[in-house]
Amino acid sequence: MLGLIAGGLVLLFTIPVNVVMGQQLVPSQAGTVSSLMMGFAWGMAGLLFIPLTGWVADHFSLQLAFSGLVLFPLIGFLLALKLKK
C-alpha cells in the first residue's frame, strides 16, 4: 500500500509541471492549453487506462497489470527528453 501511495503521489506531482510546460509552449492561449492538458490526461485515464488495467488484471494477473503501468511514466520521461530546453 505504501508503494502505491508513493507512486501515486509522484505521478500526481507532475500535473502542475505538465500544465506549466504546455502554457509556456503556447503563451497566448494559456487557459485553453491548460484545460486541454488536464482534460486529456484525466480523460485518457478514465476512459482507457482504468478499464484496460482491470481487463489485464482479470485475465492475467494484478502484478502484470501494475507492472504494465510502470512503463507509461518511463515512456513519458523519454518523450520529455526530446522537448526543447
pLDDT digits (tens, 9 = 90+) for 15-26: 888 888 888 888
| Alpha-carbon distance values, 14 to 9, 28, 54, 55, 76 (Å) | 9, 23, 24, 26, 11
7 lies in which domain range? Answer: 2-80
pLDDT in tens, 47-66: 888 899 999 999 999 999 98
Residue 35 resides in a domain: yes
Nearest to 21 by CA among 71, 77, 84, 74: 84
Distance CA 58, CA 12 (A): 26
Residue 71 resides in a domain: yes
Residue 85 resides in a domain: no
Instruction: With 0.75 as the threshold, say if the pTM is over it.
Output: no
Averaged confidence pLDDT in the chain: 86
Structure confidence at residue 7 (pLDDT): 79
How many domains does one find in the chain? 1
Cβ neighbors of 72 (< 8 A, separation 6 or more) are 49
